[in-house]
Amino acid sequence: MVPETDLHTTPTSPAADALSYWDGFIHSIPQPVLPPENDCSQMLGILRATRPLLDSDRDWILPNIAHLESQLPIYDSLMNRLQTVFKELKTYRATIQRVSKEFSSTLAPVRRLPSDVLRSIFREIQSPAFDRSGISFGGPFRSSIEFMHNTLNLSRVCYSWRDIVVSSPELWSHMRIAFSSPSRDSPGLFSALFNIHFPAMKTILPLSGQLPLDIRFILDDSNPSVKAIEAFSLLLGERHRWRTASLTYSFDLLEQLKACTGKLASLESLTIMPTSSQQQHWLLSPVDDWVPPPGNVNDVFIDAPNLRKVVLYGGIEDVSFALPFQLTHLATCFTSIHNLHTHTLLGELHLETRCDEEIASLHDHITLPNVWRLSVVSLKTLRHLRLPALEDLKFDSYLTDFTDELLSIPSDTTAFIEDEAAEATLTISDFIRSSRCSLTSLATTSSIIYASSFTQEAFPLLESLTRLEYRIIPVYERRLYDALMSPKVLPDLRYLMMRLPLNGMEDISQDALSTMLTSRGQHLLSVRIECPITLNDRHVRVLDSLEPLRQLGVDLKTVAYGDPIGIKFGEFA
């Protein structure tokens, strides 16, 4: 019997023979035949004008030219052949590299890992930042089904990995299902995609076992197709396992959910998103144009005993959801919830609004004893709230319909701005006194922070403030620097974050800022200036001009245009 090891023989490499043939080929390449040395010398003399060009010179110049040009086709042919050979050599080399890597991979340490260790690795590399609540509008949109960290790709590496992945329910419990409208995908393509995804969902859902599910179901159209509803019905069969659900708002889908019996027993986090068309309609249409849906799905999420976090994006039709009382985190617009005053367990609250009329619909003096983190669009909202535990506040402006950019303000509006600032100061001061809260963090994009009434009357009520984030407005920045010069103003301030404006970012006063930072330097632990990224790279020049501030310990950072200051709607601490 021949031992098995004798069956594996290493073939002889042809490289040595090839190199000897190559040497012979090189030696066989003909050397160029140049004109006689005497002719070359006379040619140089003519070119250098050391001798004249005679009529008789043509008799020896023309034959030499013909002789030289007759050799060119020979070298062209050789070079073309060499280029072909070179391409073949590259192909051979790539093949050798590929096969070598395949053989080397058989000895990779990962192949010796036990299956339970591999399963743990697959579980650990699942990104905790799986997008369960985010939403983007516009851009490419195609029907698809996806799983956390490309679970399908892991299963395609080899049979062993496939067995591990298939037997790991936790790898199949996070899914994103997107349905574009048939009008965006051609009807034929839409049907083809559905014929792929629908059977895949039927096969894959059981692979998650009985683990809680994290689901994103996204529609490109508020009127879903029959196929999308059919796919959603599969998920409804597992609704008792939903842990986080991020759904595009569709009355048809919510009505289908309401018709189902049984609680959303495992649901902990809920996000309702508008379609891009709904979002655009919400931003551009007057409130009076909102049309409520034909039925009633207001209480579709009321029977979710473990629901804690809810995000209701603006742009949803005029539906006011009733939500269970045990919520701890809520981000919503005013028109999407009607029982805010009952949610006394809330710890974090984000409120959006488009107009002051919405704020007026709130109950007066809503007391939420546990809210410590609040984000509002308008300071007027604070008139209706009493938040004794509040520590972190973010507001955008005072009036919902007034843009206070203040980069170039006509002189006749100065009095108007001061009046608004005085009223805003009174609002926030009354709120702090009535709530008896001690703010430690304040973030705002509003110009109100620069008003003398705000620095003189509101700052004394913010002595506990340790963190301040605001937008730099070059026209008014010196006012704030002058106020902060005194260590008695905001004495506990330790963290200062400033956002440069997109327009006028080159005009900030470095000298005044440096003086203020120097005066408070021993108290400030962190100072950061954020510069929005511009398409023309103007931010690069601005950051270069601010380099001297680094000597004072200032951190210079770029941020995407549109990144919020402070709390971002729907992102909870």
Q: What angle separates helix 187-204 from helix 226-236, to the nearest 10 degrees?
A: 10
* E runs forming strands in 220-335: 242-248, 269-273, 309-312, 329-333
* Domain assignment of residue 135, yes or no: yes
97 contacts 236 by C-beta, under 8 angstroms: no
For position 173, what pLDDT does the model report?
85
* Domain assignment of residue 300, yes or no: no
Six-digit token pair at 81? 């052949």
Q: Any residues with CB less than 8 A from the CB of 211 and at least 6 apart, and which? A: 169, 170, 173, 241
Same domain, residue pair 167 and 261: yes
Same domain, residue pair 283 and 415: no
Q: Which domain holds residue 128?
A: 111-291
User: What is the number of domains present in the chain?
Assistant: 2
Largest CA distance in the chain: 114
Same domain, residue pair 284 and 152: yes
For residue 61, which amino acid is it?
I
Burial category of 567 from C-beta neighbours within 10 Å (exposed 0-12, middle 13-18, buried 19 and up): buried
**How many whole angstroms separate alpha carbon 392 and alpha carbon 572?**
12
Long-range contacts of 237-243 (CB under 8 A, 24+ apart): 237/205, 238/205, 238/213, 239/264, 240/264, 240/265, 240/266, 241/208, 241/210, 241/211, 241/212, 241/213, 241/266, 242/212, 242/213, 242/215, 242/266, 242/267, 243/212, 243/213, 243/214, 243/267, 243/268, 243/269
Please determine, for residue 259, whether its predicted confidence score (pLDDT) is greater than 50: yes
Same domain, residue pair 232 and 125: yes
* Domain assignment of residue 33, yes or no: no
246 contacts 219 by C-beta, under 8 angstroms: no
For position 129, what pLDDT does the model report?
42
β-pairing, 144-147 with 174-179?
antiparallel
Give the closest residue to 545 by CA, choosing from 529, 561, 559. 529
Average pLDDT of the residues of the chain: 81
* Domain assignment of residue 19, yes or no: no
pLDDT in tens, 17-66: 777 777 777 888 888 999 999 999 999 999 998 999 998 999 999 999 99
Six-digit token pair at 267? 């649901």
Q: Which of 244, 261, 291 is the last residue of a domain?
A: 291
Among 44-53, 148-157, 321-330, the minimum mean pLDDT is found in 148-157
Same domain, residue pair 165 and 286: yes
Q: Which of 274, 291, 308 is the last residue of a domain?
A: 291
Question: Virtual CA dihedral for 308, 311, 312, 315, nearest 10 degrees?
Answer: -170
Categorize the per-residue pLDDT at 286 as very low, low, confident or very high, splitting at 50, 70 and 90: low
pTM of the model: 0.75
pLDDT in tens, 386-401: 999 999 999 987 554 4
Same domain, residue pair 403 and 519: yes
Same domain, residue pair 116 and 229: yes
* Domain assignment of residue 17, yes or no: no
For 376, phi then psi, to 5°, come to -130, 150
3-state SS record for 22-90: HHHHHHHCCCCCCCCHHHHHHHHHHHCCCCCCCHHHHHHHHHHHHHHHHHHHHHHHHHHHHHHHHHHHH
Q: Any residues with CB less than 8 A from the CB of 441 and at least 6 apart, and which? A: 391, 392, 393, 465, 466, 467, 468, 469, 566
* Domain assignment of residue 343, yes or no: no
H/E segment holding residue 414: helix 414-435
Residues in the chain: 573
For residue 541, which amino acid is it?
R
Long-range contacts of 361-368 (CB under 8 A, 24+ apart): 361/334, 362/334, 366/340, 366/341, 367/341, 368/343, 368/344
**How many whole angstroms separate alpha carbon 150 and alpha carbon 133?**
19
pLDDT in tens, 364-386: 788 999 999 999 988 888 988 99
Q: Which of 266, 291, 316 is the last residue of a domain?
A: 291
**How many whole angstroms separate alpha carbon 524 and alpha carbon 560?**
26
Same domain, residue pair 138 and 274: yes
For residue 566, which amino acid is it?
G
Q: What is the DSSP letter of 285?
A: S
Please determine, for residue 141, whether its predicted confidence score (pLDDT) is greater than 50: no
* Domain assignment of residue 381, yes or no: yes
Same domain, residue pair 400 and 495: yes
258 contacts 300 by C-beta, under 8 angstroms: yes
Question: Position of tokens 């697959």?
Answer: 122
For position 116, what pLDDT does the model report?
86
For 271, phi then psi, to 5°, come to -130, 125
Same domain, residue pair 384 and 270: no
* Domain assignment of residue 70, yes or no: no
**How many whole angstroms separate alpha carbon 109 and alpha carbon 105?**
9
Among 266-280, 307-321, 391-405, the minimum mean pLDDT is found in 391-405
